[in-house]
Amino acid sequence: MASTIAHGMPDLAAGQNAAEMPLSAVAITSAVQSKHLVVAGVSKRFGGVSAVQDVSLTLSAGEIVSIIGPNGAGKTSLLNTISGFYRPDAGRITMDGVDITSVRPSKIAARGIARTFQNIALFTGLTVVENVMLGRHIHMTSGVLACIFYLGRAQRQEEESRRQAEKVLAMLGLSHLRGKMSGELAYGLRKRVELARALMLEPRVLLLDEPMGGMNQDEKQEMKRFICELNQNHGTSIVLIEHDIGIVMDISDRVIVLDGGHKIADDSPAHVQRDPAVIRAYLGTRRTRGDKHG
């Protein structure tokens, strides 16, 4: 579907409405409008290495889409292009119909796309609540002097940020750790704090890069529960990179498989598990050399 959108979508002539369009064009236009996120034919190279090659995907409102694949498959690079940390060499990315292909990460975040990282990126010298409050920076509009002297709107925004942080911490079961230094937390708890910080952006689309990496089974199940609650109770659309295939197959609406930068599958969990190309990629008969752009 994404490739059809990228290459076959007709333009509406001035004054033309859906009733005047061919049925096929109406269907394609309706599909685009129903998608939160559309990635169409995106490629990204680093020197001679093609990290992502002509990859397309769509994400509907309220959907969980997981991206899996061997090490070096291009999973993180794809998320980096969506969130604006990499600018793709080819292709187009839209959010709610707006082109964000060349938009800065801060502007993409302001449009409702939040991101967690494979490697934890907390400020270890700050408390849990301070780290979480930093996630609301795009909603802070006070001037520098107002912030320095804690005046007027700056004070109100700081108080609102703290109230929101307390709500997020409570939702993720972290309230009892609010005053603890982030660097003192166990690995699984730091992952949860990073998720809390991302939620401070009030995202409609959440990009999660290995949120369960390095966790034990109990921690994974707890994180799985939080992700499902975000999706079901708050309507958050989620793109998830995760190596625990059992969890991926359990919570995903669709699973996308990358291998060597190419998309080799995009289907329901049940179909993906039976796909011969996916089985070959994971059994190693078509191994991709791992690299830092995985």
Percent of the chain at pLDDT above 90? 59
Please state, in angstroms and rounded to a whole number, the distance separating the CA atoms of residues 76 and 294: 6
| pLDDT score recorded for residue 145 | 40
Check if the beta carbon of residue 276 is closer than 8 Å to that of residue 253.
no
pLDDT digits (tens, 9 = 90+) for 271-293: 999 999 998 887 654 444 444 45
**Residue 33, Ramachandran bin (φ over 0: left; ψ between -120 and 50: alpha; else beta):** alpha
pLDDT of 4 over the 50 cut: no
pLDDT digits (tens, 9 = 90+) for 85-135: 999 999 999 999 999 999 999 899 989 999 988 777 788 888 999 899 888
Beta bridge partners of 239: 65, 207
pLDDT digits (tens, 9 = 90+) for 141-163: 444 344 444 555 666 777 888 88
Q: Determine the pLDDT at residue 280.
A: 86
Q: What is the pLDDT of residue 118?
A: 75
Residues pairing with 46 in the sheet: 49
Contact 105, 85 (CB under 8 A): yes
pLDDT for the residue 143? 44
Token representation of residue 20: 């005047």
Tell me the percentage of the chain whose pLDDT exceeds 70: 77
- Per-residue pLDDT tens for 203-258? 999 999 999 988 999 999 999 999 999 999 999 999 999 999 999 999 999 999 99
Write the pLDDT tens digit of every residue in 136-146: 765 554 443 44
What is the mean predicted confidence (pLDDT) over 61-83? 94
